[in-house]
A = this chain, B = another copy of it.
Amino acid sequence: MATQLNLSIDRSSPVPLYHQVVQGIEAAIHTGLLEPGSRLENEIDLAAQLNLSRPTMRKAMDELVRSGLLVRKRGVGTQVVSSQVRRPLELSSLYDDLTNNGSKPTTEVLSFSHIEADAATREALQLPAGAKVYHFTRLRKVGGKPLALMENWVRDDITTIDEVVLGSQGLYAILRNGGVNFRLASQRIGAMIANNYQAPLLEAAPGSALVTMERTAVDDTGRMVETGHHVYRADSYSFEMTLVQR
């Protein structure tokens, strides 16, 4: 039996129709209207009910399959996946993640400089010799408890960065406001032992475990905008993600 879902679409909205469907089904899943494991009606009927064409309906379901909420089987139908799946890792900053979760992070700028990039940074950001970058380290706390120690390098030919603003906004928000459209980022997650510099800042015992993350972000023009090396207290942070098989 296929579950009935009543969603409506607004053709005068600037939001694409397929995306309205995505949001509608997502909401139905999260509110529990569509139970995990339940079958959806078939694409053609669903499209007809919403007065949409099948390709549009399919595009919506494609996105949901990609994000791991739905599972399709040819000749059978489409099922809601048995939930318990995390949302996939997104291209956002820790600050965004935390504020979305309702926490109130604070940021302390430990150092800030506008200097000539060294060889390693030029390599990471693919900059010519002599180019300058912003270099800064920040300490992020949540509820007064240190969570992350972040060191970043940002090219300076896109937008200016102000030390004061850096203390009150996430880096990604600043860059987006500066006109940067992020497209992708490559990152590497590992582990290390807290050294004598990191441990007191994070209020962790020397020798305790840290999660490390190195990331380089690319904007829509292909420029490497930002590279950074972050460490997190292992007892307070981990990376969750959902992998989808194609």
A interface residue numbers (CB < 8 A to B): 36-37, 55, 66, 68, 71, 73, 79, 81-82, 84-86, 89-91, 126, 181-193, 207-212, 216, 218, 220-224, 234, 237-245
Contacts and interface: CB of A to CB of B under 8 A. Distances in A.
Given A73-B220, A81-B183, A241 B89 contact: yes
Integer count of this chain's copies in the complex: 2
A31 to B, nearest CB: 19
A186 to B, nearest CB: 5
A233 to B, nearest CB: 9
A222 B187 contact: no
Given A37-B222, A81-B218, A244 B191 contact: no
Given A209-B209, A244-B183, A190 B238 contact: yes
B190 A224 contact: no
B211 A210 contact: no
A84 B210 contact: no
A73 to B, nearest CB: 6
A246 to B, nearest CB: 8
